[in-house]
Chains A and B, each alone.
Chain A
């Protein structure tokens, strides 16, 4: 991946904007919406994921660490998911640049 917006990856950038961006917006939208209503969050904190973890993992650490770990996991998942979409569209860039069937230059496999 060169990262330059030349012929080889323009198709991928366009496709990624069409497919990956809604994914990112949805992923960001939900937690942001949750944060907007702090009162609701506070009211239901007793049943929240990290609280439950803290109760069932005594002595592991303060609740804030568990909460941070949970959100770090969420961020890693979203980042990984977007990377996945980017890689899935990798062939689109090649097809756009070469104007050829990507299957024409399909690569070989593991030896049997």
Chain B
């Protein structure tokens, strides 16, 4: 791939006329001008509205506490709100009143787990026998190794609703996730516009993909810190796109450092973005300018580290490590085993298919699985988009050498240096994240593809670029309409054929 004729910076003129974006009124005027003049921004406004309505519906469609580890996350918030401290692994238990949801709690599932079982008249079981392995504690708080920021945000909502039932509080705290879902969609659009200025197709397709990706939507409607982590990584990707344009001015580095620190206070695995920041700086500044990227990198790392340091010091003092995974492993000892060796997982077709299933389905504590035909129906356009990306790279390389190879590719448009660097960066981020879940699987059986979700904006922009390459410019408006339609239809099919019938029409054969 080669450099384009014009650098994208030249396209960054404001459409707001004389309105200066430096002030609040300037930004408002700029936003109004965008909405008035640019169809893509009008599309974004409607997309955010539809996303908001969808998320409010999802909050009530999923029965209480059926999301990923919702009880454990909720009780973490409860501890923060009522006791003013973070819970500890192997110390804190999940309160008795949550036993009626034990089928959605790791290591507390007992068959039957009904609270009316006479055996539990004096309280739910707190020790399980695992046969020869011995007796193990049950009903423990198992997400206490996570950083506290999400739980601090949830605590005020818990306190103002303390007079109601835990289910009502849970519905309210689920809604806390929606703004972070909205932010993720907005950042997908903004990042696409920063990297591909003026290209409506990529902005519309990427933001719609994120808004209707079913697992991202699911995460943005439950009590869980995942969506906050996804939004934080999305913000960092957007700041990287901005920083790479200006070769990372000092102010960009300061903001990036703060964002990195905040991300690390949300979820430990967000630190995976740190090498991506370093790579982006080296690519944008130039690897020969060692002193410049080392200094700027130090600003980012220093600020990020400073902000996150109190939490990681607490982890070190409490658990003797920066991740507390030894304690997590100890809690899961009766049933945990490695998902496989690194190479087993890397080349195992079932493992890859399981990750694909989790990326689109596995709702409600993995009870609701999508059918293979639907998963393949989703896979085909994704594979096509990846082929588009590959063809884009091959055509770019061929063009650089003056070859006519793939010259029939009418959707091909040369990328500029910044765009090439960004796509390389996103590819590296995705590969590192995927390898990280494999690495996690060498120790834990419960490795999951949701650890990949923070890369969703990078994936969405990459797929949109691949799709663009396959579609000639004249047909792109129709293609973007078809893609938007297909993603909405996918949501409707998933909820009307799988999720709602499972939870609310159990005996009704709608499928």
Contact = CB atoms under 8 A, between A and B. Distances in A.
Interface of A: 11, 15-16, 19-20, 22-23, 26-27, 30, 33-34, 40, 43-44, 47-49, 52-53, 55-58, 70, 73-74, 76-77, 80-81, 83-85, 87-95, 101-103, 106-112
B1 interface: no
Given A58-B165, A77-B54, A91 B480 contact: yes
Given A101-B474, A106-B199, A108-B198, A73 B12 contact: no
A36 B27 CA distance: 51
Chain A interface mostly helix, strand, loop or mixed? helix
A90 B477 contact: yes
Interface stretch (B42-50, B325-333, B438-446): B42-50
B197 A109 contact: yes
A61 to B, nearest CB: 13
B63 A52 contact: yes
Contacts of B483: 88
A102 B60 contact: no
Contacts of A84: 43, 46-47, 50, 208, 484, 488
B425 to A, nearest CB: 18
Interface of B: 9, 11-15, 21, 30, 34, 37-40, 42-43, 46-47, 49-50, 53-54, 56-57, 60-61, 63-64, 164-165, 167-168, 171, 190, 193-194, 197-201, 204, 208, 242, 245-246, 473-474, 476-478, 480-485, 488-489, 492-493, 496, 500, 503-508, 510
B328 to A, nearest CB: 31
A44 B505 CA distance: 6
B283 to A, nearest CB: 18
A15 B478 contact: yes
Contacts of B11: 108-109
Given A11-B477, A89-B478, A110-B12, 9 more contacts: A20-B485, A33-B510, A57-B164, A58-B164, A80-B46, A88-B480, A93-B477, A103-B201, A108-B197
B507 A102 contact: no
Nearest to A81: B488
